[in-house]
Amino acid sequence: MPRSLVDREIGHTGLTKLHVVASMHERKALMSELSDGFVALPGGNGTLEEFFELLTWAQLGEHGKPCGLLNVAGYYDPLLAVFDRMVDRAFLKAVHRKLVLVEEDPSVLLERFESYEPPKTIKWIGDSER
């Protein structure tokens, strides 16, 4: 958690361990380093910003960890439609769309994480793996 938020007493006091960092950039880098995968629960701007950065890192091949959305009560349905539109309009390759694992049940999502294999994309431009 960034020091600025800890100083505002927003930090959870019942945690067994809390990593305090200097900035949001440092927070995301440490989260990425310590995590085996990433799940976004329904949330707001901060949740989406962090998820998209980690998803972009996966697309660039900077990590091979699963990225998932816990789609409680269809919360992320509009976002998933945007991803599909991006593929339809050729702003996102279908192989990169598959980076986003989506489930309503957390147990099923974690099962999918266990068998996750990152895609192997060599070519970014052209019709292959569209």
Based on its alpha-carbon atoms, the radius of gyration of the chain, rounded to whole angstroms, reads: 16
Average pLDDT, the chain: 90
Q: Give CA–CA dist 80/35, Å, rounded.
A: 24
pLDDT of amino acid 35? 94
At 38 the pLDDT is 97
Task: Write down the pLDDT at residue 71.
Answer: 98
The pLDDT, as a whole number, for residue 44 is 96
pLDDT at 123: 58
* CA distance linking residue 94 with residue 84, whole number of Å: 8
The single-letter DSSP state of residue 23 is S
* pTM of the predicted structure, to 2 decimals: 0.84
pLDDT of 125: 61
pLDDT of 97 reads 95
Domains of the chain: 1-34 (no CATH), 37-119+126-130 (3.40.50.450)
* SS3 assignment, position 38: strand
* Spans of the chain, pLDDT less than 50: 130
Q: What angle do CA 57, 58, 59 make, to 5 degrees?
A: 90
pLDDT in tens, 68-98: 999 999 999 999 999 999 999 999 999 999 9
DSSP 46-108: HHHHHHHHHHHHHHTTS----EEEE-GGGTTHHHHHHHHHHHHTTSS-HHHHTTEEEESSHHH
